[in-house]
Structure 1
Amino acid sequence: MDGVIKTSFDNNIATVSFFHPASNSFPSLLLHNLTQELNVLSANKEVNLIVLKSEGNGAFCAGASFDELLEVSNLEEGKMFFSGFANVINAMRTCSKIIIGRVHGKAVGGGVGIISACDYVFATNNASTKLSELAIGIGPFVIEPAVSRKIGKTAMTEMTLAATEWKSAEWNLNKGLFTQLFKSIEELDDFLNTFALNLSSYNPEALYEMKKVIWEGTENWQTLLYERAEISGKLVLSEFTIQALTKFKK
């Protein structure tokens, strides 16, 4: 399966959910489809607010598809793959709607980047995170601007260099990646539904202007993230990374 993107509407709230059988990881097609959906919703005048979530009870997002990474055979293919994450983050950044993240489980790599690009994040107590890219010979280059913007360079560095270490939900809350924690998915959803309904009732023009304020100073991401994608695209071709990915897959 290439994964699925689904959108449901409740009044003026759009809930976008993504699914992939490999722990909600992202192959290129799923990244493309999520980018397209966010762009469509950004232009939809009937939508005031977006909730972004993943399906299932396991991982929130396992990041990049390792199967597809192993298929990369040249720099152009590598850059194109990692540009998929750049496209999603830029779509979230430039989206005219506030985006609320619903994080029910663990997130790795690109999944942390997607959480970082949300404007407000609710998570459960078991929603730990990890930036494991260095352990497989690359680095979180594309998502770094989003992560650093949310939690700061020091915390981003800690996550990146401790590439095999899970950061607890409490750590993420204290650093600012998560806005609020809940003991269960049910408790999270109850609060999220009330919060979203209330927020979506505000003046859409005011919400849009606030969105622009929130993302001030990130205009260079339209080029920066693709420069970073080229770095990752080069490194994924290294012998170190190929061996690490192969070992992990086995």
Structure 2
Amino acid sequence: MPNKARILLVEDDRALVELLVFHLSREEYDIATTADGEEALLLARETVPDVVILDWMIEGVSGIEVCRRLRRNPDTAQVPIIMLTARGEEADRIRGLETGADDYVTKPFSPRELVARVGAQLRRSRPALAGEQLRYADLEMDLVAHRVKRSGETLSLGPTEFRLLRHFLERPGRVFSRERLLDAVWGHDSDIELRTVDVHIRRLRKAINVGGRPDIIRTVRSAGYALDSEGAL
């Protein structure tokens, strides 16, 4: 089964945190919480979340500034951000969205509605979370049969390349640094050097681009790699 979606909840109202954790846990999400903006940025760097639920008014760095910094960081630039706030004025909503928030929820709100909004963001950013088939462009990965196809043709991948491609397929379009890929595919305790990531990226490219097909792994200079069909155009 696909990995659990990681939710970073940044909120300083303890009662609300408990309520949201209860509802989000029922969806089997992996949830990290903090009431502090600086800690939120640290947590997001250590383990990139799949969705950030971010209160506007928090301790230390404001929610708006946290949103701005997350968007500036290549590792978190494409992570969906849902802002929570008691500020319901149109100008505030526009400011939040222009700063980089993907959605905006005004307090008080229904926890069930927020959970639904989280699910909607995940379907856009990681559409394969709930299934056993991962698809992107003309690539298909069957997690049960451990098989990969491109344009219907079965590809031959080694186990490391399979794990690497799975990580990309679960988060298409997102740019991952070599360090992030090393942690995700080889594990936090791995002694493997960063350049090994480049070696396996080359092997993966060779395997999925067989037959002269367009290269859909995009190299982002000084940032890392992404699964991106637009890079093949």
TM-score normalised by the chain length of structure 2: 0.34
Q: Which structure shows the bigger proportion of residues in helix conformation?
A: 1
TM-score normalised by the chain length of structure 1: 0.32
Q: Which structure shows the bigger proportion of residues in strand conformation?
A: 2
Give the number of the structure with larger relative contact order, counting CA–CA contacts within 8 Å between residues 6 or more apart.
1
